[in-house]
Amino acid sequence: MNNTVADTEKLLTELAPLVADAKHEIVVCVPFTALATAAKMTKGTNIGVGAQNVSWADSGAFTGEISADMILETGAKYVIIGHSERRQMFGETDATVAKRTKQAIAKGLTAIVCVGETLDEREKGITNEIVARQVKEGLCGLTPKELEKIVIAYEPVWAIGTGKTASAKDAQDTVLRIRLVLVEMFGKNDALKLRIQYGGSMNPANVDDLMAQPDIDGGLIGGASLKAADFARIVNFKK
């Protein structure tokens, strides 16, 4: 919940020329109020636009929710689902993540599905069990074809907004575990194609080490995305 429409315009104006030559896929997931503006401003650039949540329903008595059709109408093509803050503060569950994900895919949006453990779960040594459950229940029932519209973001909850970051090795180990769960669910070929991002306070100082890991395919950027220069440095990471 950052940036007004005016703030979004300023950020994208600064960001676009800094990432114009990037070969990677770039998406900015802005507040609902700024979706249409962001989509209009990024038209013809290499920057895509996404929302931060989506309803599992087409329409109806769901006050405060935003439907996939409403998102698509703005020109956005992506949506974040199951972010840790939604899980912790707004009652999101693995079951609702699955419902939102299926709806997003059915409507043609690319779903960025978030999984990750809390500090308590990590200290108990059950990180692998937690992320495996979230992946299995969140992607339950999807076909290999539908998997093409999925991106997984591993975001250790204890690293969100705290400045703490998992070591590159720890991040790689957990992302590999996620990859192996996907192999179990969908087979090796489809699992290897699916992109898995790291979302635990990736920033200009650690992006090169994190992106050097074999199973980390990208980043779900939080605070560092609010400054164009920082976000651009992450996008233009050094291999």
Q: What is the pTM of this model?
A: 0.95
From 214, 218, 164, select the one nearest 23 (Cα to Cα). Answer: 218
pLDDT at 123: 87
Whole-angstrom Cα distance, residue 37 to residue 146? 29
Number of domains within the chain: 1
pLDDT at 162: 66
pLDDT at 201: 84
**Residue 74 main-chain phi, psi, to 5 deg:** -75, -20
pLDDT at 161: 64
Q: Which of 9, 14, 65, 83 is catalytic?
A: 83
Q: Residue 121 catalytic?
A: no
pLDDT averaged per 10 residues, the chain (length 239): 97 98 96 98 97 98 97 98 93 96 98 93 92 96 93 88 78 96 95 93 93 96 95 94
Q: Residue 155 catalytic?
A: yes
Which residues are CB-neighbours of 121 under 8 A, at least 6 positions away? Answer: 127, 130
Q: Which of 9, 24, 129, 155 is catalytic?
A: 155
Query: What CATH number does the domain containing 53 carry?
Result: 3.20.20.70
Domain with 80 in it: 5-235
pLDDT at 159: 75
- For the CA atoms of 37, 40, 43, 46, the dihedral, rounded to the nearest 10 degrees, stands at 0
